[in-house]
Structure 1
Amino acid sequence: MSWIDLVTNPKGLQEIFPEGPPSLSGVSLHELVVEREGPTVRFRLDLPAYPANPPAKWLRAGFNMVQVELLFGGVSELRLVGISTEVIADMEIRPANGVSLEVRSASMVVSAVAASVTVSVLGAYLDGGREADR
């Protein structure tokens, strides 16, 4: 079972990555937000790979980076060890009475158990420090 099979709304990712789910190894973590409503934990991250056939509007805009926001709802456990401003991490989402999550980098570890995971935002942008993968 792939991590994308655990997402409540995988269609957008499946359309952009028809060859298979994008890897969650080497993601660039931009934001981690804990909210009491739900309670939820939200991760905003850049995926390490760009799709082979991105949407036409992404091509026209010259985008070269896919950014996704994953929302973990009904969080029952959360652990954060360490912190950094530049986090390149490996993220693993597994089934476990809902979903379990582990984010590991050299500077921080996040683990959580949640009832669900949802893609709340899926988009792209131009990362000026990265060559376009076209």
Structure 2
Amino acid sequence: MMWYENLEGNCFFLKTLYKEVPKLENIRIEGIYIKEEGRKATLHFDMPFYADHPPEKWTELGYNSISLEIDFFDIYYLEMKTWSDTYRGNIEIIKINQELIEIHITGEIIAKIKAEVGLIQSINGYIRSLENI
């Protein structure tokens, strides 16, 4: 099962952007935000490459990157370690049973999250400067 199939919301739109939705490998991680006293975590990251079939509006605006924001609710476990001031890494999102989603992040940041629900909150195109790609 692909990573996005373990999430709710906007999966159809994500699948229309790509011939094949890429794995989340060597990506720029904008941030991991812990909210609501630890009951919710938000993961904000860039897709590994730009869309094969971007919306016409994105093309007209000159977008070259796609960011996703995923919220995880009812957190059971959260662990993070980092030794860098930039976050690049791999993200794996799997179902470990019918009730929990497990998120593994490896690279310049190492994180593990277990949650009941994962929801794609937003998929946005934007212009990213070439020196940051």
Residue 65 in structure 1 maps to residue 72 in structure 2: no
Q: Distance in 2 between matches of 1:15 and 1:53?
A: 7
More strand by share: 2
Mark the runs of 5 or more structure 1 residues left unpaired by the alignment: none
3-state DSSP of counterpart to 2:26: strand
Distance in 1 of aligned mates of 2:21 and 2:68: 13
What's the offset of the Cα at 1:38?
7.3
Summarize the Cα distance change of 1:124–1:83 in structure 2 as closer, same or farther, 3 Å threshold.
farther
Report deviation, 1:21: 2.0
From 106, 110, 115, the equivalent of 1:104 is 106
Query: Which whole-Å CA distance do the structure 1 matches of 2:83 and 2:73 have between them?
Result: 22
TM-superposition CA deviations, 1:66-109 (whole Å, max 9, x none) = 0000111111100011243211110000111321001011x321
Distance across 2 between alignment mates of 1:15 and 1:83: 36
Structure 1 or 2: larger helix share? 2
Aligned to 1:11: 12
- 2:89: which partner in 1? 89
Gapped runs of 5+ residues in structure 2?
A: none
Answer yes or no: is the 8 Å Cα contact 1:38–1:73 preserved in 2: no
The Cα RMSD (Å) is: 2.0
Distance 2:79 2:37 in 1: 18
Query: Which runs of structure 2 are paired with 1:21-32 in the superposition (5 Å)?
Result: 21-32=21-32
Q: Residue 16 of structure 1: CA displacement?
A: 1.6
- Tell me by how many angstroms 1:52 deviates: 1.2
**Number of residue pairs the alignment of both structures matches:** 130
1:120 aligns with 2:113: no
Secondary structure at 1:74 match in 2? strand
The 1:82/1:128 distance shift into structure 2, 3 A limit, reads: closer
**Normalised TM-score (structure 1):** 0.88
Q: Indicate conservation of the 8 Å contact 2:81/2:110, yes or no.
A: yes
Asked if the contact 1:23–1:49 (Cα under 8 Å) also holds between the matched residues in 2, the reply is: no
Provide closer, same or farther for how the CA distance between residues 116 and 38 of structure 1 changes in structure 2, counting only shifts above 3 A.
farther
